[in-house]
Amino acid sequence: MNQNSKKKLTEVFASIKTEADKRFKEIKGDDDQNILIGMATCGLASGAIEVKAAFEEAIAERKINAHIMPVGCLGHCYAEPLVLIEKPGFPPILYHNVTPGKARLLVKAFLEEGDPVFEHILGSMEENDIIPSVMEFQRFNQEKRIVMANSGLIDPEDIYHYIAKGGYSALVKALTLEPEKIINEIQESGLRGRGGAGFLTGKKWQLTRDVNEKDKFVICNADEGDPGAYMDRTLLESNPHQIIEGMAINAYAIGAEKAITYIRAEYPLAVKVTKKAIEQAKEIGLLGKGILGTDFNLDIVIFQGSGAFVCGEETALIQSIQGERGMPQPRPPYPSQRGLFGKPTIINNVKTFGSIPPILKKGAQWFRGVGTEKSPGTAIFSVVGNIVHAGLVEIPMGISLRSLIFDICGGIPEQKKFKAVQIGGPSGGCLPEHFLDTPIDFDSLTLAGAMMGSGGIVVMDEDTCMVDVARYFLDFTQKESCGKCTFCRIGTKHLLDILERIITGKGKEGDIELLERLSIDIKEGSLCGLGKTAPNPVLTTIRYFRDEYEAHIREKRCPAMMCRALTAYYIDLDRCARGCDACVGSCPTEAIFTTRDRKKGIDQTLCVKCGECMTSCPVEYDAVIKVSPPELAPKIERPEEG
């Protein structure tokens, strides 16, 4: 690029930036009051719409001058709905679990009267003398936000917010560089694909750049099928422009003019927000023909994935865009050389694209300074299950699992004991307590028998049955197997049958060995990642929790008392309060009857073991007791009618 066009490019962007700053200042000036409400899917599910309505109403009623700004997700799902209030004279304050009532209170007490209502505060977002900062919590100060830096702080549906925060400047910088130089920078940064396999991103780009073809494609893989992972969705809902910017830089570097964002149709909000973002970028000349006055063209379209887990695999994803059944194809040729419609195609995960703009802005060396030597950068996890502070966490690679679960996410609720952590979704594995000091990076996790995968982490406490967890994942992969390879199609079905047999108390000696053998065969006989990793949950649970399998098979007992065929509930007549009817109303199947002395009993033939009676029994009696095997429950006869 010559000096002249470089100058023109900077000029064009400078005018956009000025406009963005102006608009951003209009709503976020020094003496404006702002109410930022987290309105991504989990916020909405916790009632953010009602909260927003309450704020609007209260502001109008009290004639207060404040802007209400819908923003994306901060990642603190346990505290949703989250509201951030900016008021001159105060640091920005974060309020958690806001209800419509609290919203009205905040408008009156804080915005009108200047009392920040300390009891509802989670913390302030800046250091100050009045209010404790959120940075005092490990959930905040151990995080390192690179990809999610702006998530939850800007309006995802307004491109100028992102630009005002420094967005798209990496694209401008990229356009002044030679494509080779960009690829070099990415290679030097050591960025590895965040989709799971951890292939070097720069190397992939180089391979595609080297192919001498006119048409090339860039695909953003947001087909997040792992049940239990939702960071891709959150990123697209909270800050879609960072992803679009990453895709544009990628397209420029490899010489592509067409890009596709492949989003699951189950994520309607993410689709809507991304669509709007693309339109806005096009409107102000950041996408489309002659981007920012250069001769670089790029069109991004959205393709909605139709809900097939296997389409997360790149060759299957390509098949589905071409209108076929999403079945993986043998590699090579790799998509980077022959992909969509036979053309060289780059497929990267949402988080990978999200890491690109910061790398270009701050340099490869800075990125290498975060995380570990072989896995630089950050990892985003959705930590869910039996955990106190569930939500999205972005941490530097290399932090131990223990610190992630116990320090950052607050450990296990209700003082229960930790049992296992499941990493990497249906392809990953369950790791027991003695693996908690494993550092989180691509290689260490694979070594332990799990994998980084998509970044879903499910924490399980002592009440989780590991055999049932293995069965759950097999049930999932068995349904999602595309059917191409015999071992995956039929083998997973057999694995599932054996596991079903075990959890219903019909397991036989030799079943464990059979599971192991079959698992290894499936791994060897399958083409794609789905089949190759599907037995991982079975293999890791057998390796680390063999005693649980044995208890199910030999003693017909479920140690965690979770498998319903092997447990029973009964009411301890010594503790049951005469005349109390709490459990009767809670039972969905009318299995609870009154004995002759007006105490309660459970009809085992009607009981579906949902556990509602146990929850409803008042704590002072605590009379409902769960046992395994079911024979331990004493027999209480239902008195004859009349």
Partner 1 sequence: MNDTAEDEEDAMLKDITSMLTYFEKHRGNLIPILQSIQEKHQYLSPLALQMVARHLKVSSCDVYGVATFYNQFRFHPPGEHQIKACLGTACHVRGGDIILENFERKLDIKAGETTPDREFSIDRVACVGCCALAPVAIVDDTVYGHMAPSKVEGLILGFEIEKEREKRKKQSNESK
Among 16, 20, 42, 220, binds partner 1 (CB under 8 A): 42
Residue 162 in contact with partner 1, rule: CB under 8 A: no
Per the omega criterion (within 30 degrees of 0), is the bond before 92 cis? Answer: no
| Nearest in space to 448 (alpha carbons), one of 392, 401, 381, 380 | 401
CB of 468 to partner 1, least distance (A): 8
Rounded Cα distance, 39 and 338, in Å:
40
Which residues are paired to 592 by β-bridges?
Answer: 602
| Joined tokens for residue 189 | 């940064």
Among 41, 274, 454, 541, binds partner 1 (CB under 8 A): 41
Among 382, 481, 533, 540, binds partner 1 (CB under 8 A): 382
Q: Which of residues 339-378 bind partner 1 (CB under 8 A)?
A: none
Among 589, 606, 634, 637, binds partner 1 (CB under 8 A): 589
Among 228, 439, 449, 525, binds partner 1 (CB under 8 A): 228
Rounded Cα distance, 491 and 181, in Å:
47
| Nearest in space to 27 (alpha carbons), one of 89, 74, 82, 70 | 70
CB of 522 to partner 1, least distance (A): 21
| Joined tokens for residue 289 | 């023909």
Rounded Cα distance, 582 and 573, in Å:
15
Select from 1-9, 81-89, 365-373, 385-393 the region that touches partner 1 (CB under 8 A).
385-393
Residue 418 in contact with partner 1, rule: CB under 8 A: no
Neighbours of 127 (CB within 10 A): 11
Residue 234 in contact with partner 1, rule: CB under 8 A: yes
Select from 153-161, 225-233, 330-338, 493-501 the region that touches partner 1 (CB under 8 A).
225-233
Rounded Cα distance, 266 and 139, in Å:
29
Residue 309 in contact with partner 1, rule: CB under 8 A: yes
Residue 458 in contact with partner 1, rule: CB under 8 A: yes
Sequence-distant contacts of 49-58: CB under 8 A, at least 24 apart: 50/99, 50/100, 51/81, 51/83, 51/98, 51/99, 51/100, 51/102, 51/103, 53/100, 54/100, 54/101, 54/103, 54/104, 55/83, 55/103, 55/106, 55/107, 57/104, 58/103, 58/104, 58/107, 58/108
Residue 425 in contact with partner 1, rule: CB under 8 A: yes
Strands 600-602 and 429-432: unpaired
Give the residue with the Cβ less far from partner 1, 386 or 526: 386
| Joined tokens for residue 88 | 């001159």
Give the residue with the Cβ less far from partner 1, 235 or 356: 235
Helix, strand, coil share (%) of the chain residues, nearest 5: 45, 15, 40
Q: Which of residues 66-105 bind partner 1 (CB under 8 A)?
A: 77-78, 80
Among 110, 205, 230, 353, binds partner 1 (CB under 8 A): 230
Residue 266 in contact with partner 1, rule: CB under 8 A: yes
Select from 11-19, 285-293, 381-389, 528-536 the region that touches partner 1 (CB under 8 A).
381-389
Give the residue with the Cβ less far from partner 1, 123 or 391: 391
| Joined tokens for residue 415 | 């003082």
Residue 386 in contact with partner 1, rule: CB under 8 A: yes
Among 5, 34, 184, 304, binds partner 1 (CB under 8 A): 304
Strands 93-95 and 121-124: antiparallel
Among 137, 334, 472, 593, binds partner 1 (CB under 8 A): 472
Residue 482 in contact with partner 1, rule: CB under 8 A: yes
Select from 107-115, 195-203, 400-408, 582-590 the region that touches partner 1 (CB under 8 A).
582-590
Among 353, 412, 612, 617, binds partner 1 (CB under 8 A): 612
| Nearest in space to 549 (alpha carbons), one of 566, 533, 530, 532 | 566
Q: Is 248 helix (H, G, I), strand (E, B) or coil?
A: helix
CB of 121 to partner 1, least distance (A): 20
Q: Is 89 helix (H, G, I), strand (E, B) or coil?
A: coil
Residue 227 in contact with partner 1, rule: CB under 8 A: yes
Residue 333 in contact with partner 1, rule: CB under 8 A: no
Select from 44-52, 63-71, 126-134, 195-203 the region that touches partner 1 (CB under 8 A).
44-52
| Joined tokens for residue 296 | 């670089």
Q: Which whole-number Å values give the CA distances from 118 to 123, 130, 144, 173, in the listed order?
A: 9, 10, 27, 44
Select from 466-474, 485-493, 497-505, 619-627 the region that touches partner 1 (CB under 8 A).
466-474
| Nearest in space to 550 (alpha carbons), one of 426, 466, 475, 630 | 466
Select from 18-26, 108-116, 298-306, 549-557 the region that touches partner 1 (CB under 8 A).
298-306
CB of 77 to partner 1, least distance (A): 3
Residue 267 in contact with partner 1, rule: CB under 8 A: yes
Summarize as ranges the residues that interact with partner 1 (CB under 8 A): 41-42, 44-46, 77-78, 80, 224-230, 233-234, 265-267, 303-304, 306-309, 320-326, 382, 384-386, 390-391, 422, 425, 456, 458, 460, 464, 469, 472-473, 476, 482, 586, 588-589, 608, 610-612, 615
